[in-house]
Structure 1
Amino acid sequence: MTTHEKHAKDAEPELHPVKFSRLSKRGILLGLSLAQLIAIGVAIAAFVLGLYTGGQTVLYLGVVWLPALLVAVIRVGGRSLVEWLPIGLAWMWRSVTGQTRYRRRIVKPRPAGTLALPGDAAALRQYVDPETGAVMVHDPHAQMLTVLREITHPSFVLLDPGEQERRVQAWGRVLATGCRSGRIARIQVLERTIPDSGTGLAQWWASQGVDDGSWVANTYKELIDRAGPAGERHVSTLSLSLDMKAAARQVRTAGRGLRGAAAVLKQEMTTLTTALRAVDLDASDWYTPGQLAIMLRTAYDPQIAATLDRAGDIGQDLATAGPVAVEERWDRLRSDSAWHAVLWISEWPRSQVFPGFLSPLLLTGGIRRAVTLLYDPIRADVAARDVRKRKTEHISDQAQRRRIGQIEDAEQSAELQDVLQQEADLISGHGILRFTGLVAVSADTGPELDAAVAAIEQAAVQASCETRRLVGQQASAFAAAALPLGRGL
């Protein structure tokens, strides 16, 4: 190798590994959460009262202090029993009041401008921008206005390391725009697989292929005709949500109401479009009501996806795009033509990994699933205040543990190092985002769903991630994981 070639090779950018902050498990006092402290406080109060009363009162009050102590210390599925209590009670209440079942009222028309969705998503409203024709989804409870578009991109794992590093840095700058603005409530990246009717491969052949009548061209055309309807394709969307409370002054200046919020959101849409060009991401036009209607319909009814793909303009009415029937169970959801289960990525890789670490999860074939990343930008002043608070709490806990002779474990030290790293990043001018990962798995039957969930859990292990199946909240979790509406949990 010549000296020139050696210097050229050294000058090539290398792909650097990344590291995620750990999910904080530090409680209010000595690792105990507020619910645990309340339960232990009740147990101590009942026990002391029994001692002061005398006799066998302490034994009689055992029906109070003993269960309170047990629910505070016994852990199931990573949580103490007292932390499971609100989830269980909420599920029982929703079951008794019939909130876990949804049936569309066919003879009763929907109010104009609403989305035909079940649960708390029934309050969502649509607003069509008269200038761009984009559909904007208004959440009156969360005071958010959301718009979305489809993103096409080359296969990241097939790019050379230098190009991967450049795209990773550019994507970081895209997310940083949400932190600097202060008006963005959430950015959602949704990557899903849907049955392919064959139009995807046909469109690729029409744009990339050379139909010159040769044997090779004819072989390709036959392969597309046979394999197209049996395949699947990946669709990636990017949703942008405006925080109407944070942008209240700009909304009033732009005309108030949804019209003013839409004008402010269009400014953020322009900024995002410019940032996406720097990442070499090909973005389509912003979604119209018809495109959103098809996406919502196929999320609850996957088997209709291929039919709608070939049907032209049929099925593009948002007023009828929702499911006909939904039944929520403790750990799964059943809709029109499929069973669904939502997994939460509870632990990201604890060691350094390269940016393509999610490949086993995203490239698992033969399984209908939607992977969602929710990014909640935090304003710089709020992030700095939160980091200082957590740093002070960690240092106070260290002093308290030394005072009582408790040994400092490695996990607590690692969490403190993560806080210090976040503080250093803020000082360097970087932004902080609170992100959540969700995976919605769909199948035709219950047993097939269990098999698909097991395969996704194994793929997550290969990606160095830990997943947990959400329970007692599958309906709201599915709306957050499978719908591009910027919903949270």
Structure 2
Amino acid sequence: MARSETTTGSELEPVKFSRLTRRGILLGLSLSQLIALGIGGASLIAAFYAGGGILLAYSAPIWMLAAVVAWVRIGGRPLVEWVPVGAWWLWRTTGGQLLYRRRVVAPRPAGTLALPGDMARLREYTDPETGAGMIHDPQAATLTVATAITHPAFVLLDPSEQNRRVSAWGRVLATVCRSGRISALQVLERTLPDSGQGLAEWWAEHGTDDGTWAAITYAELIDRACPAGERHATTVSLSLDMRAAARQIRTAGGGIRGAANVLRQEMTTLTAALRAADLTASEWLGAGQLAVMLRTAYDPAIGPTLERHGQLGQDLATAGPVAVTETWDRLRTDSGYHAVLWISEWPRSMVYPGFLAPVLLSTGIGRSFSLLCTPLRTDQAARDIRKKKVEYISDATQRARIGQIEDASQSAEYRDVLRQEADLTAGHGVLRYTGLIAVTAPSTDELDTAVAAIEQAAIQASCETRLLVGQQAQAFTAAALPLCRRL
């Protein structure tokens, strides 16, 4: 996605997103389609040169099947692209990898997280200077930290203030792109059940319980509203690429301690950028706060209890789920059912920055919205843009040679590439965005209703969503956990 265009004036201007690139390697065909057509064409040519006639009929199942899997689409994707998805799902099914059960008797190695799947390799590290809980992924070579963000309601601000905050957030993203050591930035916005403790404490401190009709009615209203309340929580996670920062890590002492020193510099820079954007960043989340977030993601029903009793659930070693069952299109954890939606298309028309309000302000639905931003270094972004320009021009020349008409979507994608090049030349950063929505409900029927409501809200936001299948467990960790996990 290209950088959004903003202005410095007092009026809020609409923005436009780049389209998801759907161009293939040759004439719009992907590599898997070309392989399938190549196999079918080779069998047809071999039968023809071998004598034709009955041999063409014998080879018909091969080249006809190749044509079907290359051209027939299901769910917006050709059949040949579903082959690796189905094969991987079958392998996981036969290998028993769709079920996870906590071994409550067997002790876990010190410093590890009790999480299912490939997240079992994650390690925890507490920074001695800031007290932040850092999550180390030894295979991906990343070190991740998170902070809680408080901010005023964007939709309630006047247009000039909204425009200023959008420009300030653009500078925050540009700051992330400059160092070249950041692997990903994640913005996670969650809807959580509110225990009502804050409202009850306010009434106990400021209310006048004098036995009058008004006081009794107000107290009953608070008692009824507290269990049904909900609140929004926002976190920003920062992930250090330890391979890209290898030299700085060695200079800082090497190992996890050296990586923590380098990440601490990035944390200071990000905190200053967030403060300049009028976003209030709390202290970086410690291991106990991360443990509560992980626990409530897998066990939503325990959230109000952990909020009322602040000392419970503060251990990362026991923060994971007790049981996880993954199916083709949903996930079952301790006390909830989950389904993850991918924002496959951002708005194609001009929209205002608050276009996601229907999704983010939906009430009565447990959901987590995660925006994963992958920054590209300037040299890497320039090479990628030049490569895309050459590919588009080559494809246009090939289409003109064979007489194929160029459609409007191909022209729009090429204009998006030119706009990205102009933004990069002007000094702005280039990031790749992934939007995920994890919907949570206590039963399958409520989950289906909530997913339908979120899909309708996404339509109101001019976005297209698709239910991720065959990878719900991996998608849930990316959408609901503040660990900068990517699909």
Q: Same fold (TM over 0.5)?
A: yes
Aligned residue for 2:110, secondary structure, equals coil
Distance 2:32 2:387 in 1: 21
**Deviation at residue 475 of structure 1 after TM alignment:** 0.3
Q: Which one of the candidate residues 156, 160, 163 is aligned to 1:162?
A: 160
**Deviation at residue 344 of structure 1 after TM alignment:** 0.1
| Residue 4 of structure 2: aligned partner | none
| Residue 257 of structure 1: aligned partner | 255
Amino acid at match of 2:447: L
Distance 1:217 1:486 in 2: 47
| Residue 44 of structure 2: aligned partner | 47
| Residue 13 of structure 1: aligned partner | 10
Distance 1:52 1:200 in 2: 81
| Residue 458 of structure 2: aligned partner | 460
**Deviation at residue 224 of structure 1 after TM alignment:** 3.2
Asked if structure 2 preserves the Cα contact closer than 8 Å seen for 1:200 and 1:233, the reply is no
**Deviation at residue 131 of structure 1 after TM alignment:** 1.1
Asked if structure 2 preserves the Cα contact closer than 8 Å seen for 1:346 and 1:468, the reply is yes
Distance 2:382 2:200 in 1: 51
**Deviation at residue 63 of structure 1 after TM alignment:** 2.3
Amino acid at match of 1:118: P
Q: Cα distance 1:392–1:260, how it changes in 2: closer, same or farther (>3 A)?
A: same
Aligned residue for 2:334, secondary structure, equals coil
Q: Cα distance 1:236–1:75, how it changes in 2: closer, same or farther (>3 A)?
A: same
| Residue 315 of structure 1: aligned partner | 313
Aligned residue for 1:355, secondary structure, equals coil
* Amino-acid identity (%): 68
> Any runs of at least 4 consecutive aligned residues in structure 1 with deviations exceeding 3 A, and if so which?
200-206, 209-225
Aligned residue for 1:349, secondary structure, equals coil
**Deviation at residue 261 of structure 1 after TM alignment:** 0.3
Distance 2:90 2:442 in 1: 27
Distance 2:222 2:152 in 1: 20
Q: Which one of the candidate residues 477, 480, 483 is aligned to 1:479?
A: 477
| Residue 98 of structure 2: aligned partner | 100
Q: Which one of the candidate residues 148, 151, 155 is aligned to 1:153?
A: 151
| Residue 394 of structure 2: aligned partner | 396
Amino acid at match of 2:280: D
Asked if structure 2 preserves the Cα contact closer than 8 Å seen for 1:210 and 1:217, the reply is no
Amino acid at match of 2:265: Q
**Deviation at residue 217 of structure 1 after TM alignment:** 8.1
Q: Cα distance 1:369–1:294, how it changes in 2: closer, same or farther (>3 A)?
A: same
Distance 1:62 1:203 in 2: 76
**Deviation at residue 427 of structure 1 after TM alignment:** 0.6
Q: Describe the superposition over 1:281-335 as per-residue Cα deviations: whole angstroms up to 9, x where unpaired.
A: 1111111111111100000110010111112201111111100000000000000
Amino acid at match of 1:36: Q
Distance 2:470 2:331 in 1: 10
**Deviation at residue 222 of structure 1 after TM alignment:** 5.0
| Residue 5 of structure 2: aligned partner | none
| Residue 201 of structure 1: aligned partner | 199
Q: Cα distance 1:225–1:361, how it changes in 2: closer, same or farther (>3 A)?
A: same
Amino acid at match of 1:42: I
Amino acid at match of 1:39: A
| Residue 434 of structure 2: aligned partner | 436
Distance 2:207 2:176 in 1: 45
Distance 2:399 2:444 in 1: 48
Distance 2:287 2:203 in 1: 28
Distance 1:217 1:272 in 2: 46
Aligned residue for 1:141, secondary structure, equals coil
Distance 2:172 2:163 in 1: 14
Asked if structure 2 preserves the Cα contact closer than 8 Å seen for 1:194 and 1:368, the reply is yes
Aligned residue for 2:15, secondary structure, equals coil
Distance 1:221 1:146 in 2: 44
Aligned residue for 2:356, secondary structure, equals helix
| Residue 141 of structure 2: aligned partner | 143
- Is the aligned partner of 1:267 residue 2:265? yes
Distance 1:336 1:357 in 2: 34
Aligned residue for 1:343, secondary structure, equals strand
**Deviation at residue 371 of structure 1 after TM alignment:** 0.3
**Deviation at residue 280 of structure 1 after TM alignment:** 1.1
**Deviation at residue 211 of structure 1 after TM alignment:** 4.6
Q: Which one of the candidate residues 348, 352, 374 is aligned to 1:376?
A: 374
**Which stretch shows the higher mean deviation, 447-456 or 218-227?**
218-227
**Deviation at residue 225 of structure 1 after TM alignment:** 3.4
**Deviation at residue 203 of structure 1 after TM alignment:** 6.3
| Residue 28 of structure 2: aligned partner | 31
Q: Cα distance 1:203–1:386, how it changes in 2: closer, same or farther (>3 A)?
A: farther
Distance 1:211 1:274 in 2: 39
Q: Cα distance 1:254–1:42, how it changes in 2: closer, same or farther (>3 A)?
A: same
Amino acid at match of 2:287: P
**Deviation at residue 201 of structure 1 after TM alignment:** 3.3
Distance 1:406 1:70 in 2: 22
Amino acid at match of 1:33: S
Aligned residue for 2:357, secondary structure, equals helix
Q: Cα distance 1:79–1:204, how it changes in 2: closer, same or farther (>3 A)?
A: farther
CA RMSD of aligned residues (A): 1.6
**Which stretch shows the higher mean deviation, 58-67 or 145-154?**
58-67
**Deviation at residue 394 of structure 1 after TM alignment:** 0.4
| Residue 285 of structure 1: aligned partner | 283
Amino acid at match of 1:16: E
Amino acid at match of 2:256: L
Q: Describe the superposition over 1:399-448 as per-residue Cα deviations: whole angstroms up to 9, x where unpaired.
A: 11000000010000000000000001111111100010000001111111
Q: Which one of the candidate residues 408, 411, 429 is aligned to 1:410?
A: 408
| Residue 327 of structure 1: aligned partner | 325
Q: Which runs of 5+ in 2 are unaligned?
A: 1-7
**Deviation at residue 346 of structure 1 after TM alignment:** 0.1
Q: Describe the superposition over 1:222-242 as per-residue Cα deviations: whole angstroms up to 9, x where unpaired.
A: 543331221111110100000
Amino acid at match of 1:302: P
Amino acid at match of 2:297: A
Alignment of 1:228-247 (within 5 A): 228-247=226-245
Aligned residue for 1:87, secondary structure, equals helix
Amino acid at match of 1:91: W
Aligned residue for 1:189, secondary structure, equals strand
Q: Which one of the candidate residues 54, 59, 62 is aligned to 2:57?
A: 59
Distance 2:57 2:109 in 1: 60
**Which stretch shows the higher mean deviation, 67-76 or 219-228?**
219-228
| Residue 128 of structure 1: aligned partner | 126
Q: Describe the superposition over 1:161-188 as per-residue Cα deviations: whole angstroms up to 9, x where unpaired.
A: 0100000000010011111010010000
